[in-house]
Structure 1
Amino acid sequence: MIFTTLTGVVASLALSATLLPAAAPAQSRSSPESVQTRSLLEEPHECAQAVARCDGTLAVPLDWDDPSSERIEVAFAWIPAAEHATGTILANPGGPLPALPDLPHLQQVLGPVLDHQNLLVVDPRGLGKSSPLLCPGLKLTEPDTIAACSARLGSRTRFFTADQAVHDMEAVRRALGAGPVTFYGNSYGTAYAQAYAARHPDGLAAAFLDSTMVTSTDGYALWPMRFRPDLLDLVCDRSRACRALPGDARRTYARLVAHLRERPDPEVPLVALWSVARVNEPVFGREVNAAATSYLAGDPEPLRRLARVLAGAPSQPIEGAEWAGYLAYRCGDGSFSFDRDADPAERLDQLERYYLRERPLAPYTPADLGLDVRTSVEFCVNWPTPRHSPVLSPGADLPDVPVMVVGGDFDTHTPAEVSAAMRVFPDATFVRVPFGTHSLAWGVGEAGECVRAALRSFVTAHRVPQARCTAENYRALGAFPRSLDEVAPVPAAGLDAGRRRVLAAAFATAADAVARRNPYSLFHGRLTDQPGLRGGRVAFGDGSVTLDEAAFVPGVAVSGQIALTPEGRATASLSVLAPGSPDGRAYRVELAWEAFTAHERPVLSGTFDGTPFKTRELH
């Protein structure tokens, strides 16, 4: 994504299940078997003999470096393969949050692979059912409650980190008698995968890493809080129309921020402008550069329309006793812009100086966005980290096993950053997913299906498939027309220039409405209706869009129905009132096109007042 706020990352990981394709809930192969906790690590666990899903717990040391330390319980689910097992998948969905609640989603993502692969899912210690760390009254946006939580839980929290959690996972694997595992890590699950590979190389047969956590030079997990103007350039550079806009994308956006700082617009506060730059949301990515250019040229409506959608967007509260476990991992495993051994006052001073010196949010400042660095930027200021516990120790000798890594352009870490970081694995292959976001195998649309197919192939054969997955299904707009004269005519033979211009305006209106139903769109996908850009109304139904005198181009009112198939084929039957219409009547326009493509101008066919036409595709 273009930027990463702590609140946004937490919410996106906690809500990752909402990105799954619609499907029937995954069914267990039979009712889970309840078993008693095992206290002797060297003994086989009852679940080792299970022929159906078996839920169990295992007693493990709080500190694996001290076998005599306090024992805690870790919970797991073991799902034997439906048929003959050829291997075992150890999966973690990320967070760092409880893993067991996401078991149905993991089953759905892995699909038919589980006919011949066992599945092991372990709740990391301190989370879910594994000796959870709990602090009633905890709110991550209130530093005092974080400090109180740390004091309440005491020094034992220093052992609730990835380096300890992977020892638990290995203990469960051994207690079940499972052979080396294929580790499937999503998001923070990739941090566990790296920690496991470094500490238990003999237990790892292969790994599939989706949306990888990158570690710092000292081995701790990086959680970058930054603005990514380079992504504005990325989406614009892919579009001929956007490249034709004056200036370059990032400088135009910086000018817009400065303009709104000096002359605030209540309809586009700076915090809303920050969110409008979510190019991982296809509607925003398609329009933000053109909207910024239009605003600076005196046409504010395109940008205001984008900002309005954000006003009613739901957000997830990050509060509750169970978030103590999240803090233990984030703060214990994390690398920050302050010293881990500094006290809270020193950390806050270092953090504030870092944001003044490095300006990672440029062209914004924290003040522009109303951010307090302790409540909105970094929760770990008030959480002590007294133990050396890197996720991946510098110079770790990682096993020479097949590793497939997938990452998208719009993820938290850039493809270049992930590719470079994963060179620590001797046999790692990085696969970039253009325009991909976070949790790729959990995603919707063709990109999600493609990455899931690659995942299933890899965990079965331990060979990287020839996958060419992409989430690039739009091209950024150029200028928003202020009149019909500014619309470039559609190159349709058999129509005069005036009709070709009206046809172009009608298609632009229809395409603008249909863009709100892009399968990768979350914000606009929630809309049931929206005003037209220049007037009228657009209503969204199940597989249909209704235009009621909707105006994308001033003076051109479009009414009618658009049908949209799940594959993205759009057909429209429209009436179009435009300046110069003969006798003031509406033109009748029939259109057909592929709605969601990475082509500059898709093939457009249909009729204009009964005259058939078809255009050529422009890449």
Structure 2
Amino acid sequence: MPLDWSDPASERITVAFAWLPRKDASRPAAGTVLANPGGPAPALPAVPSLTEALGPVLDRHDLLVVEPRGLGRSSPLLCPGLDLERQESVSACAAHLGPRVRFFTADQAVADMDAVRAALGVPKVTFYGISYGTLFAQAYATRHPDRLSAVMLDSIVPTGPDGYVTKPIRSGAHLLDVACAPSRACRRLPGAPADAIARLVRHLREHPDPRLRLPSLGHLTNNLYLPMVGRELNAAVAAYLGGDPLPLRRLARVIDAAPRAPLRGAELAGLISYTCADSAFPFERGAAPDERRRRLERHYDTERPFSPFTVADLRASSSQWPIFGMQDVCVGWPTPRSSPPVPPGAVYPRVPVLALGGDFDGTTTAEAAAVTRRFPVSVFSRVRAGGHGPTVSTPVNACARGAMRAFIADPYASGGGPRCDEATYRALGSFPRTVAQVPPADGTGLTGEERKVVAAALATVADAAARRDPLRSPYWQEATEAGLRGGLLTFADGTGGAGGAVVITLRDVRFAGDLAVDGEARLNGGDATARLTVTGAGGSHALELRWEAFRARDDIAVSGTVAGRPFTATVPVH
């Protein structure tokens, strides 16, 4: 390929691709899927996951995956010793690569993709883009519209009127309301979620807590897509403000243990090249690094994009310029060439488009829907409680993946979008400190005291089960964890996925402080059972519980026995 598509005589670079012919060779191809898995990252290593996601679509469709230039096996950009946390390292990398680096951008990459398509003799493609792949899809659609049959977008990267990426700089605090709104218990909390966390941030500035640092709280708001965090964060903030720090400190311990993405590596030069050149930032593209930094710091000070946090709240003492987003990295990366991925004023082709976006994605559903509407024949479908990349998520979102497959197989078959729902919880409204504060069970076969005991026992095992939500549990968690107010939880097979049932052993576990729970709970998908001994001020009780776990309901139906006597009841989410 030419380095510069506007100059056919420019330097030649190598672009790698994978071509997977359809499985059914007895009939003509129903079409070709041009797929990009996002990043921006090497695309060829994702071919197995893309083929798995597409599944039976590839019986009749060919698959084309083109590695974007500068990444993987496509003339990779490499800077030994590159460290994204050091502005001088990024600037030195740009100097090392020289002026040719300005052509490693989305507008040039989609020209490569179209050249591969033409070389293979493929008349038209259906573009399937995931995350940053949706940017390539927008660029391809507006630059090569006559070569498109349809477009499938999973988790849109938005572009603005000038054609550059306009992903907002912000914290995830605005998503607290998204987690809370469906829940009766959470809606009963006083005030708005945004006001509560702002109060907590002010409190922690005045009264620092070594077990709950402000950066940790910021990481929690950015991880609300994890069901455990979405389920608990609003109630944990309210508990902390009410004098009970344990629930929020527990969440902070989990998020602080999360492995961080590598910020050092020669191959990251390709990622920087795309992100910095394809995006709009709060500084001029032609400004020098020092001026860019001044403009960015002024933006942080005046616009407060991380509200309710400030840069001072989030800045780590170990780094002068910590990374809050790629805007901090791109301060040191020159972008002299005008290279909008989408040409300003572009006309979007009249081809079928389906876009999916999760509630907890970095792009809001409103922002994603606005981009989708630029295509004249398009449908945007919200994935309730979904995170990023629902068509390729692990474990599989069967609804989103099925909708993607059906659309690519026949883009004209469906008149509307799918209604996919990933919700596995209702957000909590409180963390009871005592059994007396637990809303009692309502049902038959229980005495007044037993109504409280059953509700508190179910709350204890439900709290333990939430650590292993089958939708998306933190994969870095340990096999043993402390109970909220004491005791020990042990998890056998903590995946909750295809590995079978999760077994949770409870030893003197206290969710409410005055009730100790011992025994075993088993989670087999949504089917949950527990055999427990609960001990409190009223003595000991032998319980057997059966309920449906991971259901987004305000009341949990539970049945079982108390001391061998059967009961049925409902327990409200507290």
Query: What is the TM-score when the length of structure 2 is the normalising length?
Result: 0.94
Matched, 1:509 2:467: no
Cα pair distance change 1:513/1:525, threshold 3 Å? farther
- In structure 1, give the amino acid aligned to 2:33: I
Q: Distance in 2 between matches of 1:241 and 1:105?
A: 39
Q: Distance in 2 between matches of 1:63 and 1:507?
A: 64
Q: Distance in 1 between matches of 2:114 and 2:563?
A: 70
Q: Distance in 2 between matches of 1:545 and 1:486?
A: 25
- For residues 368-421 of structure 1, the C-alpha deviation after alignment (integer angstroms, 9 at most, x for no partner) is 111555644421111111111111122201210001000011111101011112
Q: Distance in 1 between matches of 2:323 and 2:467?
A: 33
| Structure 2 residue aligned with 1:602 | 556
TM superposition shift of 1:526: 2.6
Q: Distance in 1 between matches of 2:118 and 2:267?
A: 29
TM superposition shift of 1:445: 4.4
| Structure 2 residue aligned with 1:480 | 431
Q: Distance in 1 between matches of 2:63 and 2:296?
A: 42
Structure 2 counterpart of 1:187, from 120, 131, 141: 131
Matched, 1:545 2:504: yes
Structure 2 counterpart of 1:356, from 301, 314, 320: 301
Q: Distance in 2 between matches of 1:226 and 1:292?
A: 20
Matched, 1:458 2:407: yes
TM superposition shift of 1:311: 2.8
TM superposition shift of 1:449: 1.5
- In structure 2, give the amino acid aligned to 1:520: L
Q: Percent identity at matched positions?
A: 51
- In structure 1, give the amino acid aligned to 2:299: Y
| Structure 2 residue aligned with 1:296 | 241
The answer for unaligned runs of 5 or more in structure 2 is: 494-501
Alignment of 1:157-556 (within 5 A): 157-277=101-221, 278-370=223-315, 373=321, 375-377=323-325, 378-445=328-395, 448-463=397-412, 464=414, 466-523=417-474, 526-542=477-493, 543-556=502-515
Q: Distance in 1 between matches of 2:571 and 2:419?
A: 22
TM superposition shift of 1:522: 3.6
| Structure 1 residue aligned with 2:41 | 97
Q: Distance in 1 between matches of 2:311 and 2:471?
A: 29
Q: Distance in 1 between matches of 2:511 and 2:348?
A: 56
Matched, 1:127 2:71: yes
Partner of 2:557, secondary structure, is coil
- For residues 121-145 of structure 1, the C-alpha deviation after alignment (integer angstroms, 9 at most, x for no partner) is 0110111111111111111111111
> How many residue pairs end up in the alignment?
554
TM superposition shift of 1:305: 1.1
Q: Distance in 2 between matches of 1:357 and 1:234?
A: 26
| Residue pair 1:351, 1:373 contacting (<8 A) in 2 also | no
TM superposition shift of 1:321: 1.2
| Residue pair 2:433, 2:511 contacting (<8 A) in 1 also | no
- In structure 2, give the amino acid aligned to 1:536: G
| Residue pair 1:599, 1:617 contacting (<8 A) in 2 also | no
Cα pair distance change 1:612/1:439, threshold 3 Å? same
| Residue pair 1:125, 1:132 contacting (<8 A) in 2 also | yes
| Structure 2 residue aligned with 1:49 | none
Query: What is the TM-score when the length of structure 1 is the normalising length?
Result: 0.87
CA RMSD of aligned residues (A): 1.5
| Structure 2 residue aligned with 1:580 | 538
Q: Distance in 2 between matches of 1:424 and 1:373?
A: 37
More deviation, 513-522/595-604: 513-522
| Structure 1 residue aligned with 2:496 | none
Matched, 1:613 2:567: yes
TM superposition shift of 1:316: 2.4
Q: Distance in 1 between matches of 2:62 and 2:480?
A: 46
TM superposition shift of 1:617: 8.1
Q: Distance in 2 between matches of 1:234 and 1:328?
A: 34
The answer for unaligned runs of 5 or more in structure 1 is: 1-59
| Structure 2 residue aligned with 1:593 | 547
Structure 2 counterpart of 1:74, from 15, 32, 36: 15
- For residues 546-582 of structure 1, the C-alpha deviation after alignment (integer angstroms, 9 at most, x for no partner) is 11111101110111111111x221010111111112x
Q: Distance in 2 between matches of 1:274 and 1:322?
A: 28
Q: Distance in 2 between matches of 1:373 and 1:430?
A: 38
Q: Distance in 1 between matches of 2:148 and 2:551?
A: 40
